[in-house]
Structure 1
């Protein structure tokens, strides 16, 4: 006789904690926000950057190059040529060794630019440079006053001392061109093929100097004259990639007499979207106090734009400097970088 179908009904199983399996984590080390102090880190200066690797020199000594990466705890902290950093790890500088940048010091000066005057993103070109050598040709191509004015603005606002360096001086007289900047007290040096570089070398000695200029003005030729073994020096100080400096990268080169020059890529335009008229005027100590009396929103350009600008009340040398500074402001306002 067939069995009752109810005999085949299964009773639901009861589970307890012994049936629960916990998957072990990938790491047994607990996570923490505490960062290591790296008390044994050594100071260095960044001299080259290339695809996630930074070439540094320990203690600023070009004979102690080290290739580094950025420590994970720094996240996306930007690191550029000229930055003072602390590094740990293998500091021997041997081939295929890699140290880590664990700290970036506060920058003393910053040379910034944007792609154009509508670009909100600032690009730090060089950090901690004491001087900005603005290289311009007096001929072939003809000098561009607008570009020099914009470079001067970037230098003043960033805390760098500008120097105007004129190449191809054997092809044209520099008098008319330099007259435009006379009231700004910008030092001018000539660096034509026939010019002796003793004065310029003395100006650069012992300092970190950034060089900028349009393509074709002779900047690379000048760098090779200042650093005769520049091509070899690039490989020594960077150790990054193939050790070749290209037109898309900045690199710091050690001067034979002491100090560094930072050779930057040739610049097609110099955007200053991050700079306001107040920033420019405030960079001049003799004008900074006067603009405190200006009304809100004053552009400091003077009449008719600003009929009550306090700068109009200044006299003597200060008044001449006002005219020169307003020329800089006009160059920024009109995006006059090519003239």
Structure 2
């Protein structure tokens, strides 16, 4: 049998092995998902997201996962997202989050002031409620100051919520924050479990998305259970030896107030609030009455150094009668960010982690 020459072959003799990956051409174009449904993320748990979709009588709770096209983009409580797939909310159904809408505000923190990795606590909140006990455990002003810095940086309105007023006079603590003009509410719990001051708290939360931050043991979960009956958030106790609370909440969750009056976002108790992500130059923006006095500051002034022009500006009465106390408060906040509070400062830092 004679062998065929190369010139005897044509394209009909070639066999093409079929591709195992299919024949659909690859494209970088992503679907627009124009029919996606709006939803609010109210809970996050190990890669599954609880979202509230729909409005009115068709509002429902849906379990969702993150679509592959979002890549490593994080999704947090408070995010407003676009939802596709099975959005019925029926048992065993699973929808897909295909888009995270623009975040109006973002509250961030780091593990400490040297950690370059920032963690988003919550998105799209309006108000940061710093919950602190007046006793058992003792208040930690520097921790409160750090939360205020984070609130100012994120564009959130701050609110101090002081608990356990039956154990200590709130006057001295409230007085130390008077120059900052931070609003506050005071509560305490009666023997029968009634929380005195709860109506004042509700009034401050009305119509807002409020995120609650505080040390373990300050009574945050107790407040949430009273604000949103039927929530059953775990309540811890304070160790009588260490004075620290035990972590009870393990993840953030958004809860709607009765009569749709607003939202509270309960977060796990924290023992530190790092601010490595915050630019010191932006903190002065939270003190608009002092900001004009920085025009004569030397280049790169931190506003907490001998050459700062704010001292002379305040002494000349340009900031009004409260100018000196306001400047002291600014520097207190700056030192909370930098960790440079004087060694003999009576302010306590946050708990060791």
Q: What range is the shorter-chain TM-score in?
A: 0.7 to 0.9
Report the equivalent of 1:58.
53
Distance 1:249 1:216 in 2: 16
Report the equivalent of 2:290.
287
Aligned match for 1:173, one of 169, 180, 194: 169
Shift of 1:338: 2.4
Report the equivalent of 2:21.
26
Structure number, greater radius of gyration: 1
Report the equivalent of 2:256.
254
Give unpaired runs (5+ residues) of structure 2.
191-195, 234-246, 341-347
Report the equivalent of 1:112.
108
| TM-score normalised to structure 2 length | 0.82
Matched positions, count: 315
Distance 1:157 1:293 in 2: 24
Deviates more, 1:293-302 or 1:202-211: 293-302
Taking structure 1 as reference, are residues 96 and 23 closer, same or farther at Cα in structure 2, changes over 3 Å only?
same
SS at match of 1:189: strand
SS at match of 1:181: helix
Retained in 2: the 8 A contact 1:45–1:60?
no
Distance 1:285 1:60 in 2: 40
C-alpha distance after superposition, 1:198-235 (max 9, x if no partner): 11101111211000100111111111111111139xxx
Deviates more, 1:17-26 or 1:216-225: 17-26
Retained in 1: the 8 A contact 2:37–2:53?
yes
Give unpaired runs (5+ residues) of structure 1.
1-9, 233-244
Shift of 1:289: 4.1
Report the equivalent of 1:3.
none
Taking structure 1 as reference, are residues 108 and 301 closer, same or farther at Cα in structure 2, changes over 3 Å only?
same
| TM-score normalised to structure 1 length | 0.86
Aligned match for 2:43, one of 45, 48, 56: 48
Are 2:261 and 1:265 aligned?
A: no
Retained in 2: the 8 A contact 1:45–1:59?
no
Aligned match for 2:88, one of 80, 85, 92: 92
Report the equivalent of 1:321.
326
